[in-house]
Amino acid sequence: MNVFTVPMKLLTAVVLDEVTDTVKKELLRLGVLDFIQVSRLAPEQAARLSVQKQQEEPGTYTNLRSRVETLFMQAGMPTPSSEKLNPDTMQPLEVGKAKALVDKVVGDLSTIREQQKQLSQSRIRVDELLRYVTEEKLQYLDIRIGQVGKGNDALIRSRLANQAFVLIQPATWKDFVLLTLKRDRQQVSPLVETLQWMENPDGGLQRVALPFLQAELEQQMENLGKANAEIKERITLRIKEDMESLETLWCDLRLHELLGEIAQNFSHTRNTTIFSGWVPQSESSALESVIRAAADGACVIEWTDAKYLPR
């Protein structure tokens, strides 16, 4: 959530050094210079920061930055803004190491994601059973009430592990209550028969069992919700372990992208200046026109809405 009282946009502009003073004067004339961060990038810095540039495909930095931003999003963290770009603290970017960092985090998350996927599948099964039980749509359900001649409840659960089911034994009941979906009958019936299931002949017990089944399913839904929340927290914590490194990497990648854009048309042997800061959205178009005119087109300008960069 940002704290601006009027709609704002984040300016990121890269210009050649010889037009920097002209751009500054125009920003001063518009009354926004105090809100703009100005960073100068000398030729030797640009050269140091782009050691591997010629070895990388044009989209390498952008694709890697997008992966980093996805991790920020998964952790519920805002993407860094160009205000954090500081050429004086940037280091040469080793793409191999950068990819290794991102791959390591993503790899660790994949294991957690698999657990989350399994929970999601369980939730879908339980939710369907609960809906039919709550609405008493017995035409979609198989409710078996009885005992097994072979094995116990643990064996029943293991045999039905790949099915949507609920197995309970209400207090004071000698019988088990087994709930499954009627559409799964062909898969479930043979499994139950191998346990020598003995059905209670009292058909009226099925409706008596419904409140017990509903209570069990509601408890399972609550437990699954808690487990899912815990997994989300684990995902967030894992990403935060490397948050500082990921933020630094994002800044390195973003700076290299900007350098790449300016280098497409202008020599790296010339000084470069980065302007970055928040300005009222209502003034953004006029400000961009002023910068482009002052720089005589020798610039790269990007805008980001405040809603995409919580402050």
pTM of the model: 0.62
Tens-digit pLDDT string for the chain (311 aa): 455 567 888 888 888 777 777 777 777 677 665 555 666 555 554 444 444 444 455 578 889 999 999 999 999 888 887 667 766 666 677 888 999 999 999 999 999 999 999 999 999 999 999 999 999 999 999 999 999 888 788 888 988 988 999 999 998 899 999 999 999 999 999 988 888 999 999 988 999 999 999 999 999 999 999 999 999 999 999 999 999 999 989 988 887 777 666 555 444 445 677 777 788 888 888 888 888 888 888 788 888 876 665 44
Please say whether the beta carbons of 79 and 308 come within 8 A. yes
Q: What is the pLDDT of residue 308?
A: 60
Range of the domain at 280: 1-42+271-311
Please say whether the beta carbons of 304 and 65 come within 8 A. no
Q: What is the pLDDT of residue 6?
A: 72
| Domain count within the chain | 1
What is the DSSP secondary-structure string of 150-189? SS-HHHHHHHTTTS-EEEE--TT-SSEEEEEEGGGHHHHH
Decide if 287 is inside a domain.
yes
Decide if 6 is inside a domain.
yes
CATH number at residue 309: 3.30.70.240
Q: What is the pLDDT of residue 305?
A: 77
Decide if 117 is inside a domain.
no
Decide if 298 is inside a domain.
yes
Decide if 254 is inside a domain.
no
Decide if 227 is inside a domain.
no
Q: How far is CA 94 from CA 25, 60, 140, in A?
A: 37, 12, 59
| CA nearest neighbour of 142 among 118, 160, 122, 158 | 160
Strands (E), 71-211: 141-148, 165-168, 176-181, 197-199
Q: Rounded to an integer, what distance in angstroms lies between the CA atom of residue 142 and that of residue 114? A: 30
Measured at the CA of 95, the angle between CA 232 and CA 75, to 5 degrees, comes to: 15
Decide if 4 is inside a domain.
yes
Q: Which helix (H) or strand (E) holds 9?
A: strand 8-16
Q: What is the pLDDT of residue 28?
A: 65
Rounding to the nearest 10 degrees, give the CA dihedral for residues 233, 239, 241, 247.
-140
Decide if 276 is inside a domain.
yes
Backbone angles phi, psi at 38, to 5 degrees: -120, 125
Dig out the tokens for 69 from the structure.
């931003």
Question: Strands 272-280 and 8-16: what pairing?
Answer: antiparallel
Q: What is the pLDDT of residue 199?
A: 92
